[in-house]
Chain A
């Protein structure tokens, strides 16, 4: 048997170039800067509470990561949250049992996702276009149903999940995110499912010729994205006091930012869950810190946009300069 090593000899310096390491350094930098700028930052309870603001988005970012690695994109997730929260509120108002309410809510999200998946695979239409359409369609359905009213009654367990803590310390939403992140990391990097997703994203034709069921995987990924949007909707509805059809407006951009900032290549085939998780913390700590400093939400939005562009533009610029010098 030929003795070819699995990996090149381990050089500590190589870690420095890895995306995940750079992201980690950025995160530490933000933590240090923020804690120097305000004493409230390093307060444990404050930090824990800060996770509420990004946990729901983070949950969706996990499935969105798979979608983007598979060379697709889903702009309709925020609208699916709207549909699912309306279903949640409505079924509650009808007095259904809690398990039925939750099942129907999850089902509604999965169906929306399946609708996306079906149109994308059956008609071979680029996902960016389909989800631009369903983005309007789904949220429109939420508006048509709820009009300008709102729901504020949900099953007790939902309110607990959304704003409660396990053992009084760990928010359920955050905990769910972390557990799911571990599961997804395992799936992506250690199972055949993950490898097939990378293959589909990098070269869909080759994947098909190799016997990978590209359409089936695509369909399932979009359905999953919808399902997870519904899960996020449950946590979100539990946390907010009332739910209107404009819930989670603009969230799809923030979720995609989480994924792309995490080093996932927008054209698919490359990325890691670890990178996405670190980027979620970067964005979360940034919002939290700036919020404590009374920077308006707008400033955070501008900063996030700049961060997104520069995170790809700056390394690329450096690479071009280096090439010119050769």
Chain B
């Protein structure tokens, strides 16, 4: 029983529950089924991105370019839609994923083959991809009239009164859960992150895994490119600016260690939910939008500190006290 109580995922879950109850008292409208469904939908993109970022963080790296990747993929398919709105939705989704994956592969190649450190590579591509959005769109926005009905409606389709977008996040959760816990690839990610030298000795090809991890991160960024544009019905150069930091915070709050090799899929999702809850709860309890950034920042720092205190390696016991 004690093991369940100090399990960090359980603690996260409790915090979310307590937070929900707290907000519910201040604003009962917040805890209605519709409202909760909206919060879940709103957090879905963050959940998907956090799960894919987790793959990269597990091998001791970070992908700072996800938001720019998302925005560029979204803009490119939107531009296509202005010319060919009649194309089927799945066509756009597939294209967006493809573009995202390609952008991710570029990251992987830069890090694994050109040996440019991941911080430098993803800081660079963060700017390059964001810049390319201006380039292809000439700074203009693409409005909802450029999209077909299907394009915009898909994510709002309801199943069991929850949106398609939410169920997509659930599907991604299941896929990544299986990937990380029940495939060789996933388990090797944990070992590569936990002890890179030993992993190479065992025959795990570090370069291959780096490229695969960033490709997956790019794939989901591309997917979210479609989702974001469809959700907000607009594509612009300003989409998701700074969002990569929210994604990374979700992972860190969820217990994914930046040192690599540690972290659970459930924790990641809970971390994303907590951050999503905060973002939606603050306006609901009448806190001015201008305080949101500060409060999110503070809570993230707090979570990181608590995280570290519980993670701290205890010294090996040499002497047994009597």
Contacts and interface: CB of A to CB of B under 8 A. Distances in A.
A306 B120 CA distance: 11
Contact of B245 (A73, A119, A135, A138): A135
A284 to B, nearest CB: 17
A319 to B, nearest CB: 9
B127 A302 contact: yes
B298 A137 contact: yes
Contacts of A73: 119
Interface string A105-138: 0000000000000010001111011101111111
A140 B293 contact: yes
A316 B114 contact: yes
Contacts of B291: 140, 143-144
Interface residues of A, number: 45
A239 to B, nearest CB: 24
Interface string B117-159: 1011101111110111011000100000000000000000000
A306 B124 contact: yes
Given A136-B294, A316-B116, A130 B304 contact: yes
A253 interface: yes
A116 B272 CA distance: 24
Interface in B84-124: 110, 113-117, 119-121, 123-124
A212 interface: no
B28 interface: no
B305 interface: yes
B308 interface: yes
A249 to B, nearest CB: 9
A148 interface: yes
B134 A296 contact: yes
B7 to A, nearest CB: 22
Interface string B43-86: 00000000000000000001000000000000000000000000
A136 B297 contact: yes
Contacts of A314: 114
B201 interface: no
B292 interface: yes
Nearest to B305: A123
Interface string A282-326: 000000000000001011011011101100111011001000000
B274 to A, nearest CB: 14
Given A133-B300, A301-B131, A123 B294 contact: no
A256 interface: yes
B249 A253 contact: no
B258 interface: yes
A309 B125 contact: yes
A253 B127 contact: yes
Contacts of B212: none
A260 interface: yes
A134 B114 CA distance: 32
B110 A313 contact: yes
Contacts of B252: 129
B248 interface: yes
Contacts of A299: 131, 135
Given A128-B62, A257-B123, A306 B128 contact: yes
Contact of B301 (A133, A148, A256): A133
Contact of A305 (B124, B249, B309): B124
B17 interface: no
B131 to A, nearest CB: 4
A147 interface: yes
A266 interface: yes
B139 to A, nearest CB: 8
B296 interface: yes
Nearest to B295: A140
Nearest to A139: B293
Given A136-B245, A147-B288, A302 B120 contact: no
Contacts of A128: 62, 119, 258
Interface string A76-114: 000000000000000000000000000000000000000
Contacts of A312: 114-117, 120
Contact of A308 (B120, B131, B248, B290): B120
B276 to A, nearest CB: 15
Interface of A: 73, 119, 123-126, 128-130, 132-141, 143-144, 147-148, 253, 256-257, 260, 266-267, 296, 298-299, 301-302, 304-306, 308-309, 312-314, 316-317, 320
Given A140-B297, A309-B125, 14 more contacts: A123-B309, A128-B62, A129-B258, A130-B304, A132-B248, A136-B249, A136-B294, A136-B296, A137-B297, A141-B294, A257-B123, A301-B131, A302-B131, A305-B128
